[in-house]
Chains A and B, each alone.
Chain A
Amino acid sequence: MLSQEIKLKLIQIVGPENFDDTKVGRLVYSYDATPMFQSLPDGVIAPRNTGEVSYIVKLCNERRIPIVPRGSGTNLCAGTCPTEGGLVLLFKHMNAILEIDEENLTVTVQPGVITLDMIHAVESKGLFYPPDPSSMKISTLGGNINENSGGLRGLKYGVTRDYVIGLEIVLANGEIIRTGGKLAKDVAGYDLTRLMVGSEGTLGIITEATLKLIPTPESKMTMLVHYQDIEAAAKSVSTIIANKIIPTTLEFLDQPTLKLVEEYSQIGLPTDVKAVLLIEQDGPIKVVKQDIEKMSRLCVQERAVSVKIATSEEEADGLRTARRTALSALARFKPTIILEDATVPRSEVAKMVIAINEIAEKYQLNICTFGHAGDGNLHPTCLTDVRNHEEIEQVEKAFEEIFMKAIELGGTITGEHGVGTVKAPYLELKLGQAGIAAMKAIKDSLDPNNIMNPGKMFAKDSRKRVVVTT
């Protein structure tokens, strides 16, 4: 609970219309898109500018009040669930595209800008911002940066991290700093920009960002490759890359996923094959055609049963949409879906897919797998029911095994969703004790009072995942 005095001070900063501590007002910011996590904040605040953010942070730092910055609440690691109460900070007023610089190829935005709105704005100037998380229609750039979001185009173009070149940050003590800039080269000191990307709101509040843009590729082609053997599909991935082609997108969907996606979107996806690869290439039309032809040959060589090249943009878009809605389509099947993002070196994709199937079998679970095969980032997704406590325990065990396997294959526990609350107990698997200690040292020095999104990233005790806090 916030004291009356603090409440009044907060209202003084942002105005009464931008502070809410009613029960309903708090309830609707008690969750994000992560199943099984809910916790009420003590208040919700919507600052109108960086100055106000700084005042809020100063006050919270003085009084040890947790702050949870939140975009549209679409993350999957319970990163914005206010597990320790405090203030949820919204950016609904700070949602302007400040500048599109066509000479330096940059866009400068406030954190509340919707990802797709920015993508449309730069596209109208012939420019291209590649990171395209599945939630981009509603996710904010502030959220994308804090979570270091990936997407379907990560293989060729990288992820959010590769496009953030400058930030304005409000530190835990209320100081405002600027990092990086519209610069292709900048080695002045530690790379704080990169440190902040993916920091999940645990180090500071990002209040402005300058992002790198590239020219829009001239053309694009899309194809769908069918397999009757999962290993053959996975093998095709490494063969394509070994043949020195880097496609824009190289997505994998297994049969259970295909069936549910087709049922939902009805765009004529094959449901009688064991797996498909969705492959896209962009660039100059001549090169694209060449690459598509070559890839299609390589796939057949790797025992693909058929290759279908989209003949119209409409058809291509249908295929992309199918992949984009995979997570959602699975949700129709069961009330609760738990989606993970274990990631391995791409040469190990086949082994990982097989391991996931074996683990699912072992624990008698319904796990569908799809994901960014090209960058080794898979989404094993468990269809379950939160009310079935026994099964949920099995799910826990299965995912723990999946994480262990990923690490064993040289991979990581999370490729793009972030650590948040969900993965915190497993972080040590990836980093080791010394690794955690190094990260904690950074956290402690930048946020000594632990007010910045506390309870995220670092677990209090490891390996206990299901917490429904009400």
Chain B
Amino acid sequence: MTTTKERETIQWQFKERLSDDELLNCMRCGFCLPSCPTYIESGFQESHSPRGRLAVMKGVVDGFIEPDEDVERSLNMCLGCRACEPVCPSGVNYGHLLEEARDVINQNKKHSLVVRTVRKAVFKGLFPYQNRVQAVTGLLGFYQRFGLQKVAHKSGMMKLFPDSLSTMEKVLPPVPSLKEMKNRPSYLPAKIPVKKRVAFFSGCIMDTMFMRTNDSTMKLLQLAGCDIVIPSNQACCGALHGHSGEKNGAKELAKRNILAFDELDVDYIITNAGGCGAFLMDYDHLLKDEPTWALRGKEFSKKLKDISSVLIELEFDKQMLSLPDQVITYQDSCHLRNVMKTEAEPRLLLTAIQNTEYREMKNADQCCGSAGTYNIVESDMSMKILDSKMKATRATEATTIVTSNPGCLLQMKLGIEREGLSDTLRAVHIADLLLEAAQTSVGEMER
């Protein structure tokens, strides 16, 4: 519950921080409605649509309604997938408005002691420190390797958690050892004559839990002709903070990253996680209140490129790529598609793999329901969206689902597990699949 005083503060800050121009820019044409997964899955409820949420934000700003629980509910139910942005004729920056609104509500909300403690530990104590992320992931590795996972499964302990969470625990990848995580390269040379010099944004979760995917990504860059710099003083991108209403934490991380990648003299900064990429793209907006930083943020994001788009630019799709006979489908990462505007490149790469057939799934551009922590905090809606997604996947008869973001990858694995399809269907990150394809064709040539 929010108190009257809290509501007044929220209302006032909405007025201060939500751009009037942006809000007016929505002309309520409704063209965003068909693109919104929560509008559709909620059975066409306007309050769970982008147009509805913008009206709600404007309603609060205009003092038309109070920021009550229903306002919060409407804003929380949003996946933040931003599929409404490319289809918006007026070009409303919905994502920015949403983030601002959520931040205001969060900063003024009295969380329970438990929630406060957990939030503080996660956002202030964990993610800003990569060694701590490594340590926590290390614990998970310990749990997986020393039979504790089996014990937990057998004892039925996992049944105490919500369905999606206990299945999620099953689909986590085997994590590397702490030693491996601490021993990361800072420079890797190209394997063919150098075409570009790039920096690699390794991310927090990507460089621990998904370390193998990061390794694959860097190997691909080497094979495509890149010298790679991996600055060790880089930090988590701040997306988790930003999307959870911890804007100040996100700004600190943004500045650390801008500094870490400054003066590296590289052509591009490469990411392999759509979620991180989109947040990095928006650094100038995040830091808009500090003009010099905003400018530096803009310079930073100008260099950003997703792995798939740099591979296409370096004509990696013309290299020999092959895999054993299989049907491949691709699930867009919302942020890669809607914010980084990268949609053709992954598909071009996948169709270049010999012996395989690429089949586009229906609504591949629609969010899978992972959306950061959404699948845990809004589990019901997330699972509804996932069910629709799995139906579309099954219709393609694919044996491999490819994604380009860790959250989507886990969500697709979760979908496979929930449907009992783990014998016939696998989910992989595009970097891992492409490396497999490059290595398979090398193997074939040697034979």
Taking the closest CB of chain A, its distance from the CB of B113, in whole angstroms, is: 29
Give the docked Cα–Cα distance between A188 and B438 (Å): 74
Q: Is the CB of A35 within 8 A of B27?
A: yes
- Range for the number of chain A residues in contact with chain B: 35 or more
Asked if B28 contacts A335 (CB within 8 A), the reply is: no
Chain A residues with CB below 8 A from B62, complex form: 470
B47 near A25 with CB under 8 A, answer yes
The answer to whether B46 touches A29, judged by C-beta atoms less than 8 angstroms apart, is yes
Contact with B24, one of A34, A135, A138, A386 (Cβ below 8 angstroms): A386
Contact A135 B31 (CB under 8 A): yes
**Is the C-beta of A72 less than 8 angstroms from some C-beta in chain B?**
yes
Number of A-B contacts (CB under 8 A): 93
A14-32 residues at the B interface, CB under 8 angstroms: 22-25, 27-32
Q: For residue A264, which residues in chain B have a CB less than 8 angstroms away from its CB? A: 89, 91
Which residues in B have their C-beta under 8 angstroms from that of A24? 47, 56, 59, 65, 68, 70-71, 73-74
A336 to chain B, nearest CB (A): 7
Contact of B34 among A93, A137, A329, A335 (CB under 8 A): A137
Majority SS at the chain A contact face:
loop
Residues on A with beta carbons closer than 8 Å to the beta carbon of B28: 31-35, 73
Chain B residues with CB under 8 Å of A83's CB are: none
Q: When chains A and B are docked, how far (Å) is the Cα of A329 from the Cα of B25?
A: 12
A138–B88 CA distance with the chains assembled, in angstroms:
13
Which residue in A22, A328, A336, A385 is a CB contact (below 8 Å) of B29?
A328
Interface residue A278 (Cβ < 8 Å from any Cβ of B)? no
Are A135 and B29 in contact (CB-based, < 8 A)? Answer: yes
Task: Kindly list chain A residues whose C-beta atoms are within 8 Å of the C-beta of B24.
Answer: 335-336, 385-387
Which of A28, A30, A135 gathers most chain B CB within 10 Å? A28
Contacts of A138 in B (CB 8 A): 30-31, 33-34
Asked if B43 lies at the interface with its beta carbon under 8 angstroms from chain A, I say: yes
Do residues A28 and B43 form an inter-chain contact, with CB atoms below 8 A?
no
A327 on interface, CB distance cutoff 8 Å: yes
User: What residues on A are CB-neighbors of B89 within 8 Å?
Assistant: 264, 325, 327-329, 331-332
Distance A292 CA – B236 CA, assembled complex (angstroms):
59
A440 CB to closest chain B CB (Å) equals 30
Residue in contact with A73 in the complex, picked from B21, B30, B66, B70, CB distance below 8 Å: B30
A-B contact pairs, 29 of them (CB 8 A): A22-B70, A23-B65, A23-B66, A24-B56, A24-B70, A25-B70, A27-B56, A28-B46, A28-B52, A28-B74, A32-B28, A33-B27, A72-B30, A72-B33, A73-B28, A73-B30, A92-B44, A95-B44, A135-B29, A138-B34, A264-B91, A327-B89, A331-B25, A331-B27, A331-B29, A331-B89, A335-B25, A385-B24, A470-B62
8 closest cross-chain pairs (CB), A and B: A328-B89, A24-B70, A28-B46, A28-B52, A331-B90, A335-B24, A92-B44, A74-B30
**Which A residues contact B (CB, under 8 angstroms)?**
22-25, 27-35, 72-74, 90, 92-93, 95, 114, 135, 137-138, 264, 325, 327-329, 331-332, 335-337, 385-387, 470
